[in-house]
Structure 1
Amino acid sequence: MSGSLWLKPPSATPTLPEPPRPAPRPTGTAADPIDELALRLDAFVAEAVHPDEIAALLESDGMTDDHIRLAYGRNDSFTLAEDLYARVERRHPEPPRRSRGGRAGSEGLGGCLLRGLVFALPGLAYVLAGPLLAGAPGRHGLPAGTVPLLAGAVTGWVWNQALSHRAHTWLGLGDRAAAARALLTGAPAGALAGTAVALAVARGGELPAAVFAAGQSLYLAAATVLLVLGRERALLASLLPLLGALPALRWDLPDPLRAGLPLLSLAAACLVAARTLRPGTARGAAGRGGPPLAASLPYGLFGLGSGVLVLHAGLGESLAAGTGAVVALTLSMGPAEWLLHRFRGGSLARLRTLTTARAFRRAVTGTLVLCLGGYLAALLGLTLAATLLWPGSLWPAPDRLLVLLLVGTVLWLGLLLQAFGAVLGAAAVCLLAAAAQTLEPAAGPLAAGGAAAVLAVLSRVLLVRPTTHRV
């Protein structure tokens, strides 16, 4: 469903009927106020795909129907918008030029894949430290120490999602020093919160896992700083010691080496993050009023809901099969980010070339389906690769594979809505699905499928509107 009230024209042509052009004004008459308004709004009206865009602008500018009748002789904003639309020739902006690196106002594929890699490489720390955390079976049938590790990780996801939004908002305002200041105060607080939660839920024999969770929280804080400030390559360099886990896939390593390699990566990430945050220590950084803290809360809630869904995808009927699923979902964030940029770029191109609302809706819907399909194909390929390469991983059963694809759909559509400012709806849907699956694990396919369907409808309704894509 499109969520639109437009009626399909009776003819076979796909274009909307053009509003009639007004008759030319006789020579010597007074200047038409609508011509003056068209001249003032020329740039916006020329880019409009439909008169309703112009009507929305008029209403947002405070023009009431009474004012329009008195000043312009038209009944309402819609009639005036149709008149303006008819008087101004369509002119759409050219797409941004590609830079030398092959980007067109968005991240390149290489950069997005790099981010996916730095999302997944920390998983090697669990391979190294696994024998050090081994013990008696933990709670809920999970391996020893799983509960404090998961509690610390989820806390970090929630905190750092909200912190990333706040820092990115400062960057959008052109104040990099203020963004660094926000990270300088927020990242250590997030590390402390994750550590405190992990220690609070730890039980007897789980202290080593709680200590590892503290290091995990510290790493998440440092990685957030480096990713927000565009230092992906520096983060990747700090993770290189974890490649020492590759021999551990086949041979046993001494305990000092198993502990030392993750500590070396952690220390490197923290040092690079501290150096990157130097602008935040300058006097006056973030001194002026910034974005409200409440604006970042929905992003944290989205991190909570999506994080719990990912955990359920990995903690299904078989932990071995679930490990590969989590690795695949983590790696897939690289292609997901690139496809988000592709969708936005494709939509802006359609906005430039199409001149009717109906054609734009069809084109954007097709682009949405192609990008989502491309992401799910990438997720399947990464699941196969993780199954073949990750130690002890098994190909998920058909029902678990379905859940994996549904969770992937929820993640990608949620990130898409988040990118267009509709994070509150995405967060609410993810939280409800996560709560349903937590209360009733057997409802996994139904919860994830329902969330995917709702997000698909929300995406379709929002993204077929030309005004959503205005930059």
Structure 2
Amino acid sequence: MSGSLWLGAEGQHTLPFIPRQRPHGTAADPLDELAERMEELIAAAVHPDEIAAILESDGMTDPHIRTAYGRRDSFELAEDLYARVERRYPTAAPPAADPWHSSLGACLLRGLVFALPGLAYVLGAPLLAGPADRFGLPFGTVPLLASAVTGWVWNQGLSHRAYTWLGLGDRRAAGAALRTGAPVGAVLGALVALAVSGPGELPAAGFAAGQAVYLAAATVLLVLGRERDLLYALAPVAAGAAAATATGLPDPVRTGLLLLSLGAAAGFARRALAGAGGEAGTADGRPGPSLAAAVPYALFGLGTGVLVLCAAVGDVPAGGAGIAVAAPSAVALTLSMGPAEWLLYRFRSRSRAGLRARTTARGFRRATAVTTAVCLGGYLAVLCGLAFAGTLLWPGAPEPGALRLTGLLLTGTVLWTALLLQSYGAVRVAATVCCAAGGAQVLALVTGAGHPSTVGPVVAGTAAVVLAALAGALLGRATAHRV
């Protein structure tokens, strides 16, 4: 019957079946390909429904599954895939490193280098001896305070700019910002001190100029992580202050020790900048930080600096004498910045842990409030201890009365809460509240409406309540705690 047609079962004409040779390399089973592609996910699944959920999330519809894999739906396909791949449950991943872990020793070292410069006022007492000034403040207070506030404002903004460059990975640009900004800040502080000096206050203006140079050098060293160099530079001042308190020192020796520490700080800063400038930048092509971005941080430095100075002036009785800027309250506040920094890190670390452990927004807000209270309470306990220690060790320090201690603790509350808000990016609101509180105290002092020792607790208490409310509103949201 060669060349004829075959009749099929229903009498229709069909071609005969002719066996053909299979091509080399048979086509791969699409189900095997899918199992191989999803092997890790399938091996870790504890039930086929997990695989079905993954298939559906990948956009596999039932019609596509029937066409491509010959299975009725995603559940049937998932069962086949589950059966084809051996179970291999992955080991639990180790907990991620806590990005907010910080060494207590490093924070205490920073607090120490914040406070040790206060000993320079003890060593430089002969330069600051004289009658009360035109505002009734101790001799030389105005040029010293004006220079210090100028330095804090300038260097706080400069630090933010340099830290931003470091965050972008460009150490060279950070070094360039410090190399340009630090000398400008030193000159600016010296000129301000000279401009506001009264009759006979030229020695105090000279001391303030040295203070401006030191603040510029310290900013460089702290931003570049050279705290130990700064500690070494302050060693002559610390030793000289101890000797001057115990046995007394001739004025030329006092001046020489001050210049030795100042020269060492400037030399260490220059060496650190030389090292920073030698490294290649890694942020080429990316936009750098704008100058306007540093303004809120400069204002934050202004507000917090004025609050610390008002606390210092509060230690001096109205019309009294003494070096206000080296008062025990100011020393306690500056020394407490080390523990304050560590407690800020602890707050962020515990808040991060609470975010993982809590399952409801209310539970997280409650845990955050408790963490805030614990960390703030710990800081105030440290500040209180430093205040009592300063009262015992500081010659002629006022008694730690209830009003003075209350004002100091309220000021500490404002500073720590403001630093907390700043660490979460709310620097504008923190700067606004601190500047308003500091401005109110300065206005009361200048107009004679009240001494900081009596006005301070009221102003600081009001600012503390405002900042606490703002912190509760911000930090009670889980989205605020993203790393």
Shared fold, TM over 0.5: yes
Counting aligned pairs with the same residue, the percent is 61
Query: Which residue in the other structure is 2:461 paired with?
Result: 449
Mapped to 2, the partners of 1:265 and 1:439 lie a distance apart of 35
Mapped to 2, the partners of 1:266 and 1:279 lie a distance apart of 20
Tell me the CA shift for residue 283 of structure 1: 9.4
Structure possessing the higher relative contact order (Cα contacts under 8 Å, 6 or more residues apart): 1
Mapped to 1, the partners of 2:266 and 2:53 lie a distance apart of 73
Tell me the CA shift for residue 152 of structure 1: 0.1
Which deviates more from structure 2 when the two are superposed, residues 287-296 or residues 333-342?
Answer: 287-296
Letter paired with 2:219:
T
Mapped to 2, the partners of 1:387 and 1:30 lie a distance apart of 68
Stretches of structure 1 that go unaligned for 5 or more consecutive residues are 1-23, 38-90, 98-103
Tell me the CA shift for residue 250 of structure 1: 2.8
Query: Which residue in the other structure is 1:431 paired with?
Result: 435
Scaled by the length of structure 1, what TM-score is found? 0.77
Counterpart check, 1:404 vs 2:411:
no
CA contact (8 A) 1:112 1:338 kept: yes
Structure-to-structure mapping, 1:95-134, within 5 angstroms: 95-96=96-97, 105-134=100-129
Tell me the CA shift for residue 436 of structure 1: 1.4
Mapped to 1, the partners of 2:418 and 2:53 lie a distance apart of 56
CA contact (8 A) 1:410 1:451 kept: yes
Deviation sequence 1:437-471 (CA, Å, 0-9, x none): 12224332221111100110111111111111111
CA contact (8 A) 1:128 1:248 kept: yes
Letter paired with 1:424:
R
Among candidates 274, 279, 283, match of residue 278 of structure 1: 274
Among candidates 233, 255, 260, match of residue 256 of structure 2: 260
Scaled by the length of structure 2, what TM-score is found? 0.75
Query: Which residue in the other structure is 1:364 paired with?
Result: 368
Counterpart check, 1:351 vs 2:372:
no
Residue 260 to residue 150, structure 1, CA distance change in 2 (3 Å): same
Query: Which residue in the other structure is 1:75 paired with?
Result: none
CA contact (8 A) 1:147 1:201 kept: yes
Tell me the CA shift for residue 259 of structure 1: 0.3
Tell me the CA shift for residue 317 of structure 1: 6.0
Mapped to 2, the partners of 1:416 and 1:369 lie a distance apart of 12
Query: Which residue in the other structure is 1:333 paired with?
Result: 337
CA contact (8 A) 1:188 1:221 kept: yes
Please, what is the CA RMSD of the aligned residues? 2.5
Residue 263 to residue 287, structure 1, CA distance change in 2 (3 Å): farther
Query: Which residue in the other structure is 1:58 paired with?
Result: none
Letter paired with 1:428:
T
Tell me the CA shift for residue 355 of structure 1: 2.3
Residue 468 to residue 283, structure 1, CA distance change in 2 (3 Å): closer
Tell me the CA shift for residue 390 of structure 1: 2.0
Mapped to 1, the partners of 2:94 and 2:432 lie a distance apart of 35
Among candidates 192, 195, 199, match of residue 200 of structure 1: 195
Among candidates 385, 388, 391, match of residue 384 of structure 1: 388
Tell me the CA shift for residue 30 of structure 1: 13
Residue 238 to residue 396, structure 1, CA distance change in 2 (3 Å): same
Stretches of structure 2 that go unaligned for 5 or more consecutive residues are 1-47, 60-91
Letter paired with 2:360:
T
Structure-to-structure mapping, 1:169-318, within 5 angstroms: 169-242=164-237, 243-282=239-278, 289-316=287-314, 318=316
Query: Which residue in the other structure is 1:375 paired with?
Result: 379
Mapped to 2, the partners of 1:315 and 1:136 lie a distance apart of 16
Mapped to 1, the partners of 2:369 and 2:401 lie a distance apart of 31
Query: Which residue in the other structure is 2:34 paired with?
Result: none
Mapped to 2, the partners of 1:29 and 1:298 lie a distance apart of 49
CA contact (8 A) 1:92 1:352 kept: no
CA contact (8 A) 2:411 2:460 kept: yes
CA contact (8 A) 2:111 2:334 kept: yes
Mapped to 2, the partners of 1:346 and 1:321 lie a distance apart of 41
Mapped to 1, the partners of 2:52 and 2:373 lie a distance apart of 55
Residue 106 to residue 194, structure 1, CA distance change in 2 (3 Å): farther
Mapped to 2, the partners of 1:424 and 1:461 lie a distance apart of 15
Tell me the CA shift for residue 321 of structure 1: 11
How many residue pairs are counted as aligned between the two chains? Answer: 386
Query: Which residue in the other structure is 2:44 paired with?
Result: none
